[in-house]
């Protein structure tokens, strides 16, 4: 119980990162994985990159409906716990950095609102029954009740499945206003995934010889990616530390309550003995 929230927040593909004592080594490994992915994209782009301009022309010809279609697909998939990052990469590749980020954030916000009310109006009893059997998830709700808006924003900054979080918070007594304000915490993660998606498309187009290789442009693009990766890593690390502290505080209160309950029982037994 004392580490329930800690383990829940890190229940993702990046869980091992936070368990390494040497975080910088873990960050280096993640960076190398990112470079390896770009290398694979370059190889793939050399084969299919030539078709990207035609795909872009077709997508542009769809007009505003392309954003609506993306949003509908996004909400449908994430409601069944499909990772939002994968869809963020698609937004970056399809719409570019600015429109991709805007489209992703609006889609994620709309989906979060729908999941909140779905959980609150129809799934609340079922989720509470599930939480009774899963103490680690129940610890999330208790932490939110104790720390409020701040803890919800930090959860959005951390590597957590947003869909699961939407359902959990919707089933709680969290105020809808605070819930919607906390959604701003999704922006750093949204921007990171969209940025990587746009860089991935750029790499594939270069490999397919359908986009000129400009050293200045590439420096800005990849330099920005590295800089943002460092900033987002710092934010995630800060969120992790704050969540761990909140969880330790929650565990301390829980232990104090258990101790008070035990002392009360002991006192009651002493009184019964005296009466006897």
Question: What DSSP line would sit under 76-136, residue for residue?
Answer: HHHTTT--HHHHHHHHHHHH-HHHHHHHHHHHHHHHHHHHHHHIIIIIHHHHHHHHHT-HH
pLDDT for res 4: 41
In the numeric block, the tokens 């927040």 are attached to 9
pLDDT for res 177: 95
- Count up the domains in the chain and report the number: 1
Q: How confident is the model at residue 85 (pLDDT cuts 50, 70, 90)?
A: confident
Does 212 or 74 have the greater pLDDT score?
Answer: 74
First to last CA, the chain: 38
**pLDDT (mean) for 14-22:** 42
- Which of 8-12, 50-54, 176-180 has the largest mean confidence? 176-180
pLDDT of 95 strictly over 60: yes
pLDDT of 153 strictly over 70: yes
| Residue partners of 273: CB distance under 8 A and separation at least 6 | none
Does 82 or 14 have the greater pLDDT score?
Answer: 82
Could you tell me the two tokens for 111? Answer: 């989906």
State percent of the chain over pLDDT 70: 65
pLDDT for res 53: 86
- Of 60-74, 78-92, 202-216, give the lowest mean pLDDT range: 202-216
Domain that holds residue 124: 4-275
Give the Cα separation of 17 and 10 in Å (integer): 9
Tell me the average pLDDT of the chain.
77
Does 122 or 273 have the greater pLDDT score?
Answer: 122
pLDDT of 261 strictly over 60: no
Q: How confident is the model at residue 244 (pLDDT cuts 50, 70, 90)?
A: low
pLDDT of 7 strictly over 80: no
Indicate the helix (H) or strand (E) that contains 145: helix 135-147
Q: Give, in order, the Cα–Cα distances in Å from 81 to each of 86, 117, 164, 276.
A: 11, 17, 7, 59
State percent of the chain over pLDDT 90: 32
How many residues comprise the chain? Answer: 276
Give the Cα separation of 227 and 268 in Å (integer): 62
Instruction: Give the predicted TM-score (pTM) of the model.
Output: 0.73
pLDDT for res 233: 65
**pLDDT (mean) for 115-136:** 91
């Amino acid at each position: 119980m004392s580490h329930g929230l800690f383990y829940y927040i890190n229940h993702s593909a990046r869980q091992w990162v936070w368990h390494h004592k040497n975080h910088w080594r873990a960050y280096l490994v993640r960076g190398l994985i990112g470079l390896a992915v770009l290398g694979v994209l370059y190889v793939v782009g050399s084969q299919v990159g030539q078709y990207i301009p035609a795909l872009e022309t077709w997508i542009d010809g769809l007009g505003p409906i392309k954003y609506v279609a993306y949003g509908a697909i996004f909400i449908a998939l994430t409601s069944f716990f499909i990772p939002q990052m994968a869809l963020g990469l698609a937004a970056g590749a399809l719409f570019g950095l600015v429109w991709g980020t805007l489209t992703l954030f609006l889609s994620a916000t709309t989906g979060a609102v729908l999941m909140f009310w779905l959980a609150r109006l129809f799934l609340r009893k079922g989720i509470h029954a599930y939480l009774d059997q899963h103490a680690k998830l129940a610890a999330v709700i208790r932490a939110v009740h104790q720390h409020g808006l701040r803890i919800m924003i930090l959860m959005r900054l951390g590597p957590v499945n947003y869909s699961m979080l939407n359902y959990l918070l919707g089933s709680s007594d969290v105020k809808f206003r605070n819930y919607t304000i906390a959604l701003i915490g999704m922006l750093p993660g949204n921007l990171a995934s969209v940025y990587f998606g746009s860089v991935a498309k750029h790499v594939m187009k270069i490999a397919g010889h359908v986009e000129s290789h400009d050293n200045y442009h590439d420096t800005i693009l990849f330099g920005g990616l590295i800089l943002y990766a460092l900033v987002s890593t710092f934010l995630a690390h800060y969120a992790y530390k704050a969540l761990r502290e909140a969880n330790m505080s929650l565990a301390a209160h829980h232990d104090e309550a258990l101790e008070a309950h035990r002392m009360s029982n002991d006192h009651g037994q002493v009184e019964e003995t005296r009466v006897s």
